[in-house]
Amino acid sequence: MKATPSSSSSSSDCLFCRIVSGDIPANRVYEDELCIGFPDINPQAPTHLLIIPKRHIASAASAAEGDTGLLGSLVAAASAIARNEGLSKGYRIVMNTGDDGGQTVNHLHLHLLGGRRMTWPPG
């Protein structure tokens, strides 16, 4: 990993950067200085939220050592949102990475899934 944070440039071509900027509307159920949380448009569970950094990072594969604080903040945000959403029985946090990982939006994000029993292995 590089010691410096990954690129911080946002892109008007990036769907999630456009949500961060407000260009595309989303119901922000969570927001702090580093990240936002909003419902997935195609929910796969009764609760399905996305938590994304405000700064553009393409994926976990391009995260750098300088991003570790930000990555930790995303997990802490997911945990806080899960508490707010009443997911006391548990939930799943997913970070799809790259083509084989099933990533379709190239702006790093966590999926927070809950409200039903999850299966393993994932598809």
Residue range at the interface with ligand AMP (CB under 6 A); choices 2-10, 38-46, 81-89, 113-121: 38-46
Contact yes or no for 73/35 (Cβ under 8 A): yes
Residues that bind Zn ion (CB under 5 A): 14, 16-17, 56, 107
102 binds ligand AMP (CB under 6 A): yes
Residue 93 interacts with ligand AMP (CB under 6 A): yes or no: no
In the bound state with Zn ion, the residue whose beta carbon lies nearer, of 25 and 123, is: 25
Q: How far apart are CA 24 and CA 34, in angstroms?
A: 18
Give exposure, 69-95, as e/b (b: 16+ Cβ within 10 Å): ebbebbeebbeebbeebebeeebbebb
**Cβ atoms < 10 Å from Cβ of 58:** 18
> Would you name the residues annotated as active-site residues?
109
Which does residue 47 bind out of Zn ion, ligand AMP, none, counting CB within 5 to 8 angstroms by kind? none
Nearer to ligand AMP by Cβ, of 70 and 108: the residue is 108
